A and B are shown apart, each in its own frame.
Chain A
Amino acid sequence: MPEAAANAPMTETDHGVAQRRTVGAFLRRLYALTRKEVRQLLRDKSNLSIGLLLPVILMLIFGYGLSLDVRNAPVAVVMEDASPAAMDAISALQLSPYFSPVLVRSMHEANDKMLSREVDAVVRVPSDFSSALAAGQGRLQVIVHGAEASRASIILNYATSALLQQGVRLQDRSGGASGDGIGQVQVDSRLWFNAANTSTWYLVPGLIVLIMTLTGAFLTALVMAREWERGTFEALFVSPVKPVEILLAKIIPYFGVGIIGLTMCLTTARFLFGVPMEGSLLLLLFASVLYLFVALGIGLLISSVTRNQFMASQISLLVSLLPVFMLSGFMFDLRNVPFVINVIGHLFPATHFMALIKTLMLAGNIWPQIILECSILTAYAVLFIGLARLVTRKRLD
């Protein structure tokens, strides 16, 4: 009788042996369960491709497809003044890799090209340009098609700076003193719409958060629910297996997948997109591991509570992936949102990891922030995995 054995006096060595035996049994069961999970993971092609293929595809889409750089934008140049000075002024556009200028005769023609979207912008050199330039009042007009707001603002910026640079050069050549403004070119720009300007450097760290959330929370949200749905837990429960062993066996393989995903992301970020690594790589890895635990905890918790794969996937999309997109500062800067939304955004662990990873990659080791965010992530990891453990009981009711 086990109870009798437990009550019997135990010598020190007995105790040690019993403990070693318990640990041994624990490890054997954990190994058996983990091996099972790994096999299932490897045989389920759809899960594996979400875990490993999707990160690569996302990186490439976001890295290249969403790159907001403008190259060879068609620009109509209206030369109402054909003087050498005017030609000089717009030569910057012709030399720039960003533009391919087309000479048109009249503003009317340029207008037509804008309407038919043959060109993205119009640069107008007024007929009095050279005389005005000589008087220090040279003016050029730049009109940008605003349908695609962010592209428009980039074109506007590039055009303005190219024309201004050329203007400075002109000014130097004419030898005029800067003080009296002789030979100065002034660009009159009209920005029809404004939009935030984002770049690959800014997107890629956010993408790492997205991918870690995907492997952590979305994939694991399915694994517990799948066992409930298929009834595999019922037989498993009536065995010496402990709930903590079941949870650990679920965490281990998906932790591995998460780390592989992270490595792929970091490598592509560094070598394909040249994203800088201002802070410590080690710290970045540590933070990512912390966040991975948070994500796994969320996934397992959802999965254990819903016991239904469809519900689990819907909920995990709602509480983990959508917040990464909308509320974590990935797409929209949280400093620009209403206070309430900002507070809600900070309730999501992803927001803290987002801030942390952007700081580490783009700014450097800013210790007070790192310590704060890491503590928050640790607290979340303990909370979610703890809750998942509490919810996972060997009971059907």
Chain B
Amino acid sequence: MSDAHAVVGRHLHKRFLDKESGRTIHALKDINLDIPAGSITAFVGPDGAGKTTLIRMMAGLLRCEEGELQVLGLDVARHPQQIQDRISYMPQRFGLYEDLSVQENLDLYADLHGVPPEARGQRYQRLMEMTGLARFTDRPAGKLSGGMKQKLGLACTLVRSPELLLLDEPTVGVDPLSRVELWEIVEQLRRDEHLTVIISTAYLDEAERCSRVYVMHEGEILAEGAPEALSAHARDRCFMAVTHSAEPARALQARLLDACELVVDAVPQGGHVRFIVANPDSQHDPRLRSLLGDAEVQAMTPRLEDGFMVLMRRRLQHMGHSHEASLAAAAMSAEESTPQASADATREVMIEVRDLVRRFGDFVAVNSTSFAVQRGEIFGLLGPNGAGKTTTFRMLCGLLPASSGFLQVAGVNLRTARADARRRIGYVSQKFSLYGNLSVMENLEFFGGAYGLRGKRLRRRIDTVMEQFELGGLERTPSGHLPGGFKQRLAMAVGLLHEPDILFLDEPTSGTDPLARREFWRRITALADTGVTIIITTHFLDEAEYCDRIVIQDAGELKALGTPREVWVQAGHRADSFLNMERAFIDIVNQGRHPKTANTGAVIATGEVLHA
């Protein structure tokens, strides 16, 4: 109501009618906000929390039915245009005009926002420098990589200095390097031009850089405050289990996560396992001690993610949801499935790639890449946007022929017997690619049939995956109506129907919240224990620690290959130091790009900012 607050909301409600199911969705329930001017405020929460709805409402794009919302001292319901004249908004999917060039897109937004020509030169130069787009001004926006597009979207949003900047998940699908750059731009603008920034994000390390964080869940605000205040929910409960045994960290992590009455959360980190106990007393529980084995336990300072996990767990328990049950079921699948993975079988090479090349015209998307993956391994493909990950991935699944090189999958040469190889692999694409208007059961039956399963065998497999992915009771639900997490489970169930030896997952966790990611990875590690080989791409570098081995690609070249720790060493760090995958990634990509200036102060500094 005064200059001190950029956004003030009182008792906001929003309901949508879902046209397909005919149900009303209560997207926002009694939201109250006070966002101080000149601050960076973050909204975090799982899918469907209402973050986007709230930001769109602030931008005057959605009607506010109940309650009062003031932006920059103006009532949004009455003066949307006056507010839109003074703010800048970057939607989740920034709609660039793909047939216009980078420069033409920028010019359009500068014209529309009435930026005078004399003010443009300097502004453009700065934006181009910050985004690294200077070399591409004539390129059509449609021909930029995902991360580049996102940066151009931000540049178009920032052609003028708004009083309020609204960013809706600006870093989804953006690689760590581009994320660092994006955040630098935003922070510099706030410093230099004193603008208020409101951002929604699925990355809690990003939210940690903000002065104020709102944690949302299913249309309600669970908690709000400074990141430190929210982290404090996990105070005295965060520990690191430093292991010295040969078993991978993710095995201990899985054991801890399964003990849900004692442990709220566990993640592999730095080659060790970070975990949160259910209450401060549990750390002395003898059951926990026996789970930890010979691992040393160190107390840790809680991060925002720890606080978030504690808040979410409490909330879900309160609502009667059982995250524990889901995790337990995810873990159970390990014991039930055919344990064909005997000790000697793990040595079997499932994928072999030698001198793989793929060209598009005279553009080399993947250049002489070689690696091998063994049975039961979790193998991660990492790289910045446009590095050639997706191309490599598609060649491995037989969706794209290689230009040259040797490619053998599940013992079958992909260049000569593609159909044979396909029968032995399962594929879960990034986009939901099942039939939305068929029910869960119909999808399973159809894809089972497509893979040649029928009769009793089909029934048995369907029963198994239904149980494995907890789809019971949803048989008749049209798959398009399933919530996001269930869609992914169904997609994985379909991918595993024909008992493939190898499962390919393309950015399965992009845009999902930490809770869903834990559950997802528990399933994946369980699956790998049954002998299924997993090939996965991800933008979350902390997830690389779940992988047995990873490759890092950049500009079509293989830059690093090995276990997370080996890659950490390849990045120029000491083997016994505390490993940080995000930093390893940034270092390796930068070494490749600027061989002479590798590991300069600037590069290290960016790495440090991320995990300050």
The answer to whether A binds B is: yes
The answer to whether the Cβ of B528 comes within 8 Å of any Cβ in the partner chain is: no
The answer to whether the Cβ of A17 comes within 8 Å of any Cβ in the partner chain is: no
Contact: B63 with A395, CB < 8 Å?
yes
Chain A residue nearest in CB terms to B72: A1
Contact: A29 with B89, CB < 8 Å?
no
A377–chain B nearest beta-carbon distance, Å: 33
Q: Which residues from chain B contact A232 at a C-beta distance below 8 Å?
A: 95-97
Contact: B62 with A235, CB < 8 Å?
no
Distance of A252 Cα from B423 Cα, bound (Å): 55
Q: Which residues from chain A contact B82 at a C-beta distance below 8 Å?
A: 2
Q: Which residues from chain A contact B153 at a C-beta distance below 8 Å?
A: 235
The answer to whether the Cβ of B475 comes within 8 Å of any Cβ in the partner chain is: no
The answer to whether the Cβ of A44 comes within 8 Å of any Cβ in the partner chain is: yes
Distance of A96 Cα from B157 Cα, bound (Å): 75
Contact: B99 with A43, CB < 8 Å?
yes
Q: Which residues from chain B contact A238 at a C-beta distance below 8 Å?
A: 59-61, 84, 87-89, 166
Contact: A240 with B112, CB < 8 Å?
yes
Q: Which residues from chain A contact B87 at a C-beta distance below 8 Å?
A: 238
Q: Which residues from chain B contact A40 at a C-beta distance below 8 Å?
A: 97, 99-100
Kindly name the residue among B82, B87, B112, B156 whose own CB sees the greatest number of chain A CB atoms within 10 A: B112
The answer to whether the Cβ of B415 comes within 8 Å of any Cβ in the partner chain is: no
Q: Which residues from chain B contact A18 at a C-beta distance below 8 Å?
A: none
The answer to whether the Cβ of B487 comes within 8 Å of any Cβ in the partner chain is: no
Chain A residue nearest in CB terms to B88: A238
Q: Which residues from chain B contact A394 at a C-beta distance below 8 Å?
A: 60-61, 80-81, 84
Chain B residue nearest in CB terms to A42: B99
| Contact of A32 with B107 at beta-carbon distance under 8 Å, contacts A235-B153, A238-B60, A239-B112 already known | yes
Chain A residue nearest in CB terms to B85: A240
Distance of A396 Cα from B52 Cα, bound (Å): 12
Distance of A232 Cα from B61 Cα, bound (Å): 13
A307–chain B nearest beta-carbon distance, Å: 12
B460–chain A nearest beta-carbon distance, Å: 40
Distance of A48 Cα from B109 Cα, bound (Å): 25
B197–chain A nearest beta-carbon distance, Å: 15
Contact: B97 with A36, CB < 8 Å?
yes
Chain A residue nearest in CB terms to B113: A239
Q: Which residues from chain A contact B80 at a C-beta distance below 8 Å?
A: 394
The answer to whether the Cβ of A33 comes within 8 Å of any Cβ in the partner chain is: yes
| Contact of A234 with B63 at beta-carbon distance under 8 Å, contacts A32-B112, A36-B108 already known | no
The answer to whether the Cβ of B16 comes within 8 Å of any Cβ in the partner chain is: yes
The answer to whether the Cβ of B467 comes within 8 Å of any Cβ in the partner chain is: no
Chain A residue nearest in CB terms to B91: A234
Distance of A29 Cα from B96 Cα, bound (Å): 17
Distance of A148 Cα from B153 Cα, bound (Å): 61
Contact: B90 with A235, CB < 8 Å?
yes
Distance of A200 Cα from B329 Cα, bound (Å): 75
The answer to whether the Cβ of A335 comes within 8 Å of any Cβ in the partner chain is: no
Contact: B94 with A235, CB < 8 Å?
yes
Q: Which residues from chain A contact B97 at a C-beta distance below 8 Å?
A: 36, 40, 232
CB-defined interface of A238-252 with B at 8 Å, one 1/0 digit per residue? 111110000000000
Q: Which residues from chain B contact A25 at a C-beta distance below 8 Å?
A: 114
Number of interface residues of A (CB under 8 A): 33
The answer to whether the Cβ of A231 comes within 8 Å of any Cβ in the partner chain is: yes
Chain A residue nearest in CB terms to B140: A43
Contact: A44 with B99, CB < 8 Å?
yes
The answer to whether the Cβ of A108 comes within 8 Å of any Cβ in the partner chain is: no
The answer to whether the Cβ of A31 comes within 8 Å of any Cβ in the partner chain is: yes
Which residues of chain A in 22-41 are interfacial with respect to chain B, using CB atoms and an 8 Å cutoff? 25, 28-29, 31-33, 35-36, 39-40
| Contact of A235 with B89 at beta-carbon distance under 8 Å, contacts A32-B111, A36-B108 already known | yes
Chain B residue nearest in CB terms to A227: B95
Kindly name the residue among A29, A234, A236 whose own CB sees the greatest number of chain B CB atoms within 10 A: A234
Contact: A32 with B73, CB < 8 Å?
no
Contact: B112 with A234, CB < 8 Å?
no
Q: Which residues from chain A contact B56 at a C-beta distance below 8 Å?
A: 396
Contact: A230 with B60, CB < 8 Å?
no
Chain B residue nearest in CB terms to A396: B61
B165–chain A nearest beta-carbon distance, Å: 11
A45–chain B nearest beta-carbon distance, Å: 10
| Contact of A239 with B84 at beta-carbon distance under 8 Å, contacts A39-B104, A44-B99 already known | yes
| Contact of A33 with B112 at beta-carbon distance under 8 Å, contacts A238-B88, A396-B62 already known | yes
The answer to whether the Cβ of B120 comes within 8 Å of any Cβ in the partner chain is: no
| Contact of A234 with B61 at beta-carbon distance under 8 Å, contacts A36-B104, A39-B100 already known | yes
Contact: A237 with B95, CB < 8 Å?
no
The answer to whether the Cβ of A233 comes within 8 Å of any Cβ in the partner chain is: yes
The answer to whether the Cβ of B66 comes within 8 Å of any Cβ in the partner chain is: no
Distance of A233 Cα from B153 Cα, bound (Å): 13
The answer to whether the Cβ of B315 comes within 8 Å of any Cβ in the partner chain is: no
The answer to whether the Cβ of B98 comes within 8 Å of any Cβ in the partner chain is: yes
Residue in contact with B16 in the complex, picked from A29, A43, A240, A397, CB distance below 8 Å: A397
Distance of A39 Cα from B140 Cα, bound (Å): 12
CB-defined interface of B113-127 with A at 8 Å, one 1/0 digit per residue? 110000000000000
Distance of A32 Cα from B59 Cα, bound (Å): 22
Chain B residue nearest in CB terms to A36: B108
CB-defined interface of A138-166 with B at 8 Å, one 1/0 digit per residue? 00000000000000000000000000000
Which residues of chain A in 188-245 are interfacial with respect to chain B, using CB atoms and an 8 Å cutoff? 227, 230-242
B101–chain A nearest beta-carbon distance, Å: 9
The answer to whether the Cβ of B354 comes within 8 Å of any Cβ in the partner chain is: no
Distance of A233 Cα from B87 Cα, bound (Å): 16
Q: Which residues from chain A contact B98 at a C-beta distance below 8 Å?
A: 230
The answer to whether the Cβ of B314 comes within 8 Å of any Cβ in the partner chain is: no
CB-defined interface of A32-72 with B at 8 Å, one 1/0 digit per residue? 11011001100110000000000000000000000000000
Contact: A241 with B112, CB < 8 Å?
yes
Distance of A25 Cα from B112 Cα, bound (Å): 9
The answer to whether the Cβ of B93 comes within 8 Å of any Cβ in the partner chain is: yes
Contact: B95 with A231, CB < 8 Å?
yes
Distance of A28 Cα from B115 Cα, bound (Å): 11
Q: Which residues from chain A contact B99 at a C-beta distance below 8 Å?
A: 39-40, 43-44
Chain B residue nearest in CB terms to A238: B89
Distance of A235 Cα from B166 Cα, bound (Å): 11
Distance of A223 Cα from B399 Cα, bound (Å): 33
Q: Which residues from chain A contact B104 at a C-beta distance below 8 Å?
A: 36, 39
A55–chain B nearest beta-carbon distance, Å: 23
Which residues of chain A in 352-397 are interfacial with respect to chain B, using CB atoms and an 8 Å cutoff? 394-397
Distance of A114 Cα from B16 Cα, bound (Å): 71
What are 9 sample pairs from A and B whose C-beta atoms fall under 8 A apart?
A28-B111, A29-B114, A33-B112, A40-B100, A234-B89, A235-B89, A236-B112, A239-B113, A394-B81
Which 4 A/B pairs are nearest by Cβ-Cβ distance? A232-B95, A32-B111, A238-B89, A231-B95
A230-B98, A239-B84, A394-B84 are known contacts; what are 19 more A-B pairs with Cβ within 8 Å?
Answer: A31-B111, A33-B108, A36-B97, A36-B104, A39-B100, A232-B95, A234-B93, A234-B95, A235-B90, A235-B94, A236-B112, A238-B61, A238-B89, A239-B113, A240-B85, A240-B114, A242-B81, A394-B80, A395-B62
